[in-house]
Amino acid sequence: MSLPLAGLKVLDLTRALSGPFSTMTLGDLGAEVIKVEPTPEGDMVRQWGPFDDDISVYYLSANRNKKGIGVDFRHPDGLALVRKLALGCDIVVENFKVGTMQRMGLGYEALSAEHPGLIMASISGFGSRGPARDWAGFDQIAQGYSGFMSLTGTPESGPTRVGTAIGDLAAGLWLVIGILAAVVQRNRTGRGQHVETSLLAALMALLSVQGQRYLSVGEVPQPCGNVHPVIAPYGTFETADGPLNLAPATQAMWTRLCGILGLERLASDPRFLTNADRMRHRHELKQELEAALKRRTRMEWTPLMIENGIPAGPINTLDDVFADPQVQACGLVQALRHPQLGELRQVGLPLDLGGVPPEATARLAPPVFGQHTREVLASFGLAREEIDRLLAGRVLHQAAEPAEAS
């Protein structure tokens, strides 16, 4: 069975994380993705550590299932070539600063005049209009601006950044959704469209109940650490050997939890009768629960809780996660063959696609800079002599053939 997006051709003009993550997801789903990197050094994240045999791990994390070419965007011939590629693709994805594509002559209006079916997809930091439209898009800045950091951390720590670049990643996923919607609409109308999102918009869309609390009742949520903002008890609790997550979200679960811990008296304690009562007295409740939980370890409590219908689980470090039998059983890590590194393990597409085996979604390792320049341009009809001329003039970059990795 072919992958869902097989037959779609994507020109990837993005760099850093939000755009590359978006186009990698399209590639995982079967699209042919052509990643265009600027000469002389390629995507800026190739310079960001840590490094595996001089290759950026940051770059590796967001660029599989792509063919990579190197082009000098500042040379007229290079820009003309990018335009030719764009007009030969179904989708163009970019995350330049607002207005850059137009200044290069690659804006949606200009390209769609020649290619009405073209879908252009853009990610910016703060949107294409408004007073912050010209601000560069960096994840930490967007996390703070969107209010996301104000919800994360503890009263003692103050606002805290989420442990991954959640604004970049969320924007990338929202853009994929927008692209897929545009593809469906194009199938009906024959016309493409310009799809846009931003780090700011992506993060605000994830505010969920916290945003609704402010919009509906005027509450400004404060950071509450590892506890739920509106349910108690719900969060992280200490056991004999470390923290355990518990999520008894209903009244029935609360009652069962009291029984499991031998704390039946708490179920009838006036301080803890309802969720509202427990929220008001959550600190006293935490002390009562942890006194009982410290009698056993995390992995003693976890199966006991789950058997009794209480959602529970340990807080793993990443070495725990990748060794976990559930993670392995679900095939969440895929292996690719990289021309320089040999076997490359990556977290794969987190979707089961009917009869498609998981390994079918991880087909190409992230390209070395300029790995597929000749191959891609030949597929767009450029003659060998023209490619040679552009390479000789340093308009293009083609990687040397690497020694076969062991």
Query: Catalytic amino acids?
Result: 168
Alpha helices (runs of H) in 116-274, residue ranges in sequence order: 139-145, 166-189, 199-205, 208-217, 251-260, 264-267
Sign for the CA dihedral angle at 336, 341, 346, 348 comes to negative
- Nearest-angstrom CA–CA distance, 405 and 341: 6
Give the residue from 114, 120, 35, 24 showing the smallest Cα distance to 82: 35
* DSSP state for residue 127 in the 8-state scheme: -
C-alpha 149 chain-centroid distance:
18
Give the list of residues 6+ apart from residue 131 with CB closer than 8 angstroms, or none: none
Based on its alpha-carbon atoms, the radius of gyration of the chain, rounded to whole angstroms, reads 25
The Cα-based distances of 353 to 4, 196, 398 in angstroms read 9, 27, 35
Tracing tokens 């005027």 back to the chain, one arrives at: 218
Of 126, 111, 119, nearest to 26 (Cα)? Answer: 119
Closest to 388 (Cα-Cα) out of 377, 380, 404, 400: 377
Query: How many angstroms separate the CA atoms of 50 and 12, rounded?
Result: 24
Q: What number of CA atoms fall less than 13 Å from residue 395's CA on the CB side?
A: 16
Residues with Cβ within 8 Å of 282's Cβ and at least 6 positions away in sequence, in order, are 227, 232, 233
